[in-house]
Structure 1
């Protein structure tokens, strides 16, 4: 099957593309050509890679036609962030492909209400990213003649990049604090949640949706670990993983935010305002897919890579 992957050298594509090749797909990857895949694989030698500036071509109104001209049976879009961009691609592919798969986000749900949150829960997104992704999903799943499937990942983790840390932002210093047995201060009571997912499991949901096309078209699916972590529980687990006893303190939000940079506070607030805990029941029931990694396992796999590649300054535990 001829399959086009847009943005195929990023986190998800680094796992998804080799799996597609090994399954016998003829794969074409569109990317800006600025990044190599996070994982080495001989399968990449059998991939046709095209350098494309999607933003520029979206602005020129040519991107959808470019993808349609590749004559693919399946198109997987991993880097669409606005409804106009989705519409341009969707209208170009309407009636032309067997399946269009889009990478969304669990941010479409907004703050958690019922947990675990099912896909059909009312979406009340906030923030530009969640609002835009929700609009894209509504268009793709509501357009007649467009065989679309939307996959909504959680906090994507894995070797090669920093996972969301137990303070809810991306500063590696948080992991160093825990690794060295020092006290870490968390916002409020540390009971807000994060829900990591391994990039390999996100790729697995895409593959399962392709393998079960008849039930996947017109549907959305979460791609998360089976369970969420509180910031406190996450911090305690990381401390013990490094052989340390957890040393945690807590501050009310308005005090805590002044202990970190403005950017870190912004990222943390985004995460704890959502406090996601999404369900994987639908993917199990309709696609037969269950994640291989727990939320902690996904984060620790990324953390192990950081340690192995000496990205952290750590004093060995005595």
Structure 2
């Protein structure tokens, strides 16, 4: 393929405008040639703002167009599966927004299609929250800074006290979001970077807010949990406890604790600070993050480099997407059945 790469955008929401469009535009030899959004008016607005030459009225025409080499999908999860499959059929490289799919069945079909089309690059937008510290955390664990990892606690509080007045968000509507729950997928993806995959899941869930109105006044009955408690056995050895909630008012700031035989790592996820204490210490001490370990957002650069043959996708591969979608499905199956669910499926 020529070093000149033409990209078509399907969906131009917040992350596409904040990250993908600027990211592609700063890469030499890359041109965003077309955009389609939820309406012609919104598509035209994006095209005018970012100087994109072609406004297309439906996504199929973007995928089928011979005028682009790669597709960037920025839609809600319910469209990722059909769009990815069609893009690969049309010989297009694909960058798709996270959450990978509605469920692990769709995710596995997407992975299979990517393997059939091995000459094409496929990538999922990664969980970016811990880029700054990921390399340092992984180095400390590889150096056995805390010894054998015994237990992991991940605590994520997304909102605060229960509130019932805000309109429904698409992430709370199963027809759009599938089995995805709150930010579970991206935080499990982060855990996988640090300690690998889960071998089993036991979960309890609650839906405390039973319904919300959409902006047009329609009432939406909610079935996606707003509170999760998960226990997982990890292949690397530890038990991991994940608590994620939209209803825990005045909870302490988001954090991860990794307890080992010889030490403890505490990660302040709000400020991205890392603390380490070893056997015999009286308290945790801050860990400096070396400049060469500070990770940054380079999703579009990685995608284009992979197309040009200069890099292999690591953030995030379809294989890892399947892993987090299977974990999400296992959480739902366990919560529904009251049983331990083994992974992988």
TM interval, shorter chain, is: 0.3 to 0.5
Task: Normalising by structure 1, report the TM-score.
Answer: 0.39
* TM-score for both structures, normalised by structure 2: 0.37
